[in-house]
Structure 1
């Protein structure tokens, strides 16, 4: 998993499942807020 980009256009089924599990308990608003913060800073 080293040297792997955070976001890739092509995800294997295994990667997609891992992401779904990782963010299953994260409210969508939390992710959106964090993304907005990052976009505003850059």
Structure 2
């Protein structure tokens, strides 16, 4: 359960930081975070 909270926290942090930097950064972060979430299922 703790790794899920860490993963969710990282996702929220990157989203918040990307939103402050602009729409292009936010969209690139969204693509990268999707790849990160998919990779998290394959240790």
TM-score tier (shorter): 0.3 to 0.5
- Larger RCO of the pair (alpha carbons < 8 Å, separation 6+): 2
**TM-score, length of structure 2 as denominator length:** 0.38
